[in-house]
Amino acid sequence: MHANPQRLQDQERSSTSQLHAMPRRNTLRPFMLRFSRLLRLAFWRAFQHDAFATAKAAAYSSILTFFPTLLLIGTVLATSPQTEAYLREISDALGKILPAGSATALAYLRGTTQHSVGVLITASLITLWTGSGVMISWMEGFRRCYELPKSWGLVKERLIAFSLVILAGIPLTFSTILVAFGNRIETQILFQLGHEFGPFILLMWTAIRWTIAGLTSIAVMALIYHNAVPRTQPWHSVLPGATLASAMWFFATTLFGWYLQRYADYSILYGSLGVGIALLVWMYMISLVVLVGAEFNAMLFPRARLGIELIESNAHLRKP
């Protein structure tokens, strides 16, 4: 669904001026009112910018990325003498991140064995290509948020998507490893300091590793928002949406997991494809959350300014 750009721009100027004109007091209520209104506008703008269709494309690429990634992880860990222990802890960590009902898909990780180098390279290339497809879908949605023209060519856009997949994958891998092997680190700390500090260490270490995981998620989202549009944005203008997207990511995963446990059983309707369908729906929700976070940034730091400056710059360059 596409609306009149001029009308949308006028509406946003009016909404943004009203939001910034709200009185600033040292109370929580004005802040919450402004935040709730920005959030409603972000969801509405996402609907106007066809974020639902963009999220569907990103979810399709995400599900194609999922199983090659599991194959890659399983193949790498299969070279270790403690393969079973590592796979079990990685599966438990992914089970905390993925929605309920994903145990069947994670069993695929435990069933992987050591493969040849050719299989490892193929899985890596497939993961990189399909992951870049997710990024390209998001990048298209981000451009719509800021009403920016498509100034990147196909090759440049794909290369930027490749780089974002790699740059985002490194900290996410570190975060997953921290969550997965946190129990082993905790055991070593208890062994060194003694069990009399057990409850305190358990509480502190759990808070530390989940805080690091949350901050990593925010940093990755900020990195994507910062670099995924033709005009690189300041870090302070992408952090609010990155924080919101990470919080909604956790909330959506928890809510969807609760829904699957209590009400939905996709295997009844889809049979053996039920787990894949559940993962596809979850990835659709996550992609929608990412796009809403971008819209939130665009509302908080008016997106029209970015688009107008870029268009005026291009027009100036074309003048003889």
* Cα separation, 239 vs 82, whole angstroms: 39
Segment 189-200 mean pLDDT:
66
Sign of the CA dihedral running 180, 184, 189, 194: positive
* Average pLDDT of the chain, as a whole number: 75
- Rounded CA-CA distance 98/194 in Å is 34
Q: Report pLDDT for 225.
A: 92
Residue 3 per-residue DSSP state: -
Of 217 and 199, the structure prediction assigns the larger pLDDT to: 217
Q: How many CB atoms lie within 10 A of CB 253?
A: 19
Of residues 48 and 311, which shows the higher confidence score? 48
> Is residue 274 predicted with pLDDT exceeding 90?
no
The label of the residue with tokens 């990189």 reads 128
pLDDT of 142 > 50? The answer is yes
**Is a pLDDT exceeding 80 seen at residue 19?**
no
pLDDT at 186: 67
Of 292, 294, 289, residue with least CA distance to 227: 294
Percent of the chain with pLDDT over 70: 60
Asked if residue 319 has pLDDT above 60, the reply is no
The 8-class DSSP code of residue 27 comes to S
Say whether pLDDT at 114 is over 70: no
Q: How far apart are CA 47 and CA 37, in angstroms?
A: 15
Lowest-pLDDT range, 57-61, 85-89, 145-149, 236-240? Answer: 85-89
Give a yes or no: residue 17 inside a domain.
no
**Inter-CA distances, 46 with 51, 128, 179, Å:** 5, 27, 32
Residue 25 φ/ψ, nearest 5 degrees: -125, 165
Nearest to 230 by CA among 142, 138, 132, 137: 142
Compute the distance between CA of residue 89 and CA of residue 122 in angstroms, rounded to an integer: 25
User: In one letter, which amino acid is 143?
Assistant: R
- By CB atoms closer than 10 A (0-12, 13-18, 19+), residue 64 is middle
CA distance 102 to 125: 24
**30, pLDDT greater than 50:** yes
Lowest mean pLDDT among 45-49, 79-83, 136-140: 79-83
User: CB neighbours of 55 closer than 8 A, spacing ≥ 6?
Assistant: 137, 141, 284, 285, 287, 288, 291
Confidence category of residue 293, pLDDT binned at 50, 70, 90: very high
Question: In Å, how far are 244, 274, 278 from 36, measured between CA atoms?
Answer: 12, 35, 29
Instruction: Grade residue 288 by pLDDT with cuts at 50, 70 and 90.
Output: very high
Percentage of the chain beyond pLDDT 90 is 18
Do the domain assignments include residue 27? no
Q: Is the pLDDT of residue 175 over 90?
A: no
Q: Which domain holds residue 86?
A: 58-302
Q: Which of 41-50, 197-206, 251-260 has the highest mean pLDDT?
A: 41-50
Domain count, the chain: 1
Is 226 domain-assigned?
yes
pLDDT of residue 73 exceeding 50:
yes
pLDDT band, very low/low/confident/very high, at 14 (cuts 50, 70, 90): low
Q: Residue 230 is which amino acid?
A: P
Q: Give a yes or no: residue 124 inside a domain.
A: yes
CA distance 86 to 181: 8
DSSP summary character for residue 232: P
pLDDT score, position 219:
92
CB-based contact 106:91 (threshold 8 Å): yes
